[in-house]
Chain A
Amino acid sequence: AQKITQTQPGMFVQEKEAVTLDCTYDTSDQSYGLFWYKQPSSGEMIFLIYQGSYDEQNATEGRYSLNFQKARKSANLVISASQLGDSAMYFCAMREYSGNTPLVFGKGTRLSVIA
Chain B
Amino acid sequence: GAVVSQHPSRVICKSGTSVKIECRSLDFQATTMFWYRQFPKQSLMLMATSNEGSKATYEQGVEKDKFLINHASLTLSTLTVTSAHPEDSSFYICSASRLPSTDTQYFGPGTRLTVL
A residues apposed to B, CB below 8 Å: 33, 35, 37, 42-45, 47, 50, 52, 91, 95, 97, 99-108
Contacts and interface: CB of A to CB of B under 8 A. Distances in A.
Contact of B109 (A37, A44, A52): A44
Contacts of B45: 105
Contacts of A43: 38, 91, 93, 109-110, 112
Interface of B is mostly: strand
Contacts of A37: 107
Contacts, number: 57
Contacts of B93: 43, 45
A103 B35 CA distance: 11
A100 B43 contact: no
Interface string B4-43: 0000000000000000000000000001101000100011
Nearest to A103: B105
B91 A105 contact: no
